[in-house]
Amino acid sequence: MTLPGSPHIAYRGNDLFIDGCSARDLTARFGTPLYVYSRQAMLTALAPYRQALASRPHLVCYAMKANSNLAVLQTFAQAGCGFDIVSGGELERVLAAGGDPAKVVFSGVGKTRAEMRRALEAGVRCFNIESLPELDVLSDVATQLGKRAPVSLRVNPDVDAKTHPYISTGLKGNKFGIAHEEAVAAYQHAASLPGLDVVGIDCHIGSQITETSPYLDALDRVLDLVEAIEARGIKLHHLDLGGGLGITYTDETPPSADTLIGQMLAKIDARGHGQREILLEPGRSLVGNAGVLLTEVLYLKPSPQKNFCVVDAAMNDLMRPALYEAVMRIVPCQSSGGTAQTWDIVGPVCESGDWLGRDRELAVAPGDTLAVLSAGAYGMSMASNYNTRGRPAEVMVDGDRATLIRARETTAELLAAELKLLQT
């Protein structure tokens, strides 16, 4: 059976392998639910970004919200990547993983003063600013520290990324960025503030984008602004074109990173902006297809209306289906050759929305292991402890070596930060 996504996740005979490790061995060793990532698959996904940008100054800033495990960050840091962060916590993760703060861009609509201070002290590369009041606060914080904060404004180009509304960010009605019509005045304001250095422009229009046209439309709008801003004497060094490239979950056919970047660079050059440094913030496309979630079948509940296959992973472990009605492939880790039936794959959480897949044709029995494919992005990083469930363990595979990169969370750890009331 051919699987969508990465060649690093494939059957050998009847057994599913992630690189050189069988799912059967991994679950025997680490238990379930279990996230497994292929290091090679991540580096393979990064390669076309690097190749397409090789001829000019660039920085690939991995959007670590997609998967922020330290070993994942270490992998990208060692490959020379920077990071796109959205919180002080993410900054600490970059530093703990050995990432270079000078390659960090700090995005997000609600940075606190404390987060700004810490990022200035660490020496981040750039703050991507999303509102006028945020400009004022950052200037104030930087001035108090005797520093100047490098800034780029995230502009909202008002283009439709043609993706799920929850992950579309470049439309007028979204909370993100500074409206296109207000951007020039916002840049003039930024340039007038004592604590800021204007260094670039930024835009990110959404996630799981499967066409090039929204990117190219947004790029035209951004370049219009660059020209208008520079006409007012404000120099912009870099163009940060965000992330958002989609992956194949089932039958999507997104462009490859090199095709997309090739088309963007052609437009940048044609409009005379070829000298600028290019920053990109890919998340999902670097890690999504590099990961799987392995889960054990607990019970089968056939009924005249619906057949339920209850597994030990739930919406708290993998939120995408419940949150976006995302469809992710689910396959057996050992193909049994039994008779397939139609099942809803559901977890133990007490919500009807707790499902991982609907109407799936599978031959399953209790004790079998299933793999949810393409679970490397927005899987573990969105996991929660709902229903007092410890989050899954994570394993990184490299060839035939498997390393535990996050231990399964214990109930004792979940309770440790909580305090009972004193009895009077």
CA 345 – CA 328 distance, rounded (Å): 11
CA 345 – CA 387 distance, rounded (Å): 18
Which parts of 264-303 interact with ligand PLP (CB under 6 A)?
Answer: 281-285
Burial 175-211 (b: 16+ CB within 10 A, else e): ebbbebebbbebbebbbebebbebbbbbbbbbbbbbe
3-class DSSP state of 394: strand
CA 372 – CA 3 distance, rounded (Å): 11
Total of residues contacting ligand PLP (CB under 6 A): 15
Determine which residue in the list 5, 99, 195, 242 makes contact with ligand PLP, applying CB under 6 A: 242
Minimum distance of ligand PLP from residue 310's CB (angstroms): 30
CB atoms within 10 A of CB 371: 22
Q: Which residues lie below 8 Å from residue 323, measured CB to CB, with a gap of 6+?
A: 166, 382
CA 58 – CA 52 distance, rounded (Å): 10
Measured from the CB atom, the residue of 125 and 360 that comes closer to ligand PLP is 125
Minimum distance of ligand PLP from residue 112's CB (angstroms): 17
Minimum distance of ligand PLP from residue 286's CB (angstroms): 8
Output the CA angle 246-248-252, nearest 5 degrees. Answer: 85
Which parts of 170-209 interact with ligand PLP (CB under 6 A)?
Answer: 204, 207
Choices 241-249, 322-330, 382-390, 398-406; region in contact with ligand PLP by CB under 6 A: 241-249
Output the CA angle 19-30-20, nearest 5 degrees. Answer: 15
Minimum distance of ligand PLP from residue 131's CB (angstroms): 14
Q: What is the DSSP string of 49-74?
A: HHHHHTTS-EEEEEEGGG---HHHHH
Is 58 a binder of ligand PLP (CB under 6 A)? Answer: no
Minimum distance of ligand PLP from residue 243's CB (angstroms): 3
Measured from the CB atom, the residue of 30 and 215 that comes closer to ligand PLP is 215
Measured from the CB atom, the residue of 288 and 332 that comes closer to ligand PLP is 288
| Contact indicator for 151, 163 with CB cutoff of 8 Å | no
C-beta nearest to ligand PLP: residue: 283
Which parts of 205-234 interact with ligand PLP (CB under 6 A)?
Answer: 207
Minimum distance of ligand PLP from residue 91's CB (angstroms): 15
Could you give the string, one character per residue 104-133, with x where binding to ligand PLP holds by CB under 6 A and - elsewhere?
A: ---x--------------------------
The residue among 127, 218, 236, 232 whose CA lies nearest residue 180 is 218
**Candidate list 81, 126, 203, 350, residue with the active-site label:** 350
Is residue 350 annotated as part of the catalytic site, yes or no?
Answer: yes
Measured from the CB atom, the residue of 204 and 391 that comes closer to ligand PLP is 204
Measured from the CB atom, the residue of 75 and 285 that comes closer to ligand PLP is 285
Q: How many residues does the chain have?
A: 424
Minimum distance of ligand PLP from residue 61's CB (angstroms): 8
Determine which residue in the list 5, 170, 243, 332 makes contact with ligand PLP, applying CB under 6 A: 243
Determine which residue in the list 101, 244, 376, 392 makes contact with ligand PLP, applying CB under 6 A: 244
**Per the structure block, which two tokens stand in for 318?**
């993998």
Determine which residue in the list 36, 59, 63, 94 makes contact with ligand PLP, applying CB under 6 A: 63
Q: Are strands 34-38 and 393-398 parallel, antiparallel or unpaired?
A: parallel
Q: Which residues lie below 8 Å from residue 332, measured CB to CB, with a gap of 6+?
A: 16, 362, 363, 364, 368, 369, 370, 371
Minimum distance of ligand PLP from residue 87's CB (angstroms): 12
Q: Which residues lie below 8 Å from residue 60, measured CB to CB, with a gap of 6+?
A: 46, 49, 50, 53, 80, 81, 82, 279, 280, 282
Measured from the CB atom, the residue of 248 and 285 that comes closer to ligand PLP is 285
Choices 20-28, 145-153, 238-246, 269-277; region in contact with ligand PLP by CB under 6 A: 238-246
Q: Which residues bind ligand PLP (CB under 6 A)?
A: 63, 66, 84, 107, 204, 207, 242-245, 281-285
Task: Please identify every residue annotated as catalytic.
Answer: 350
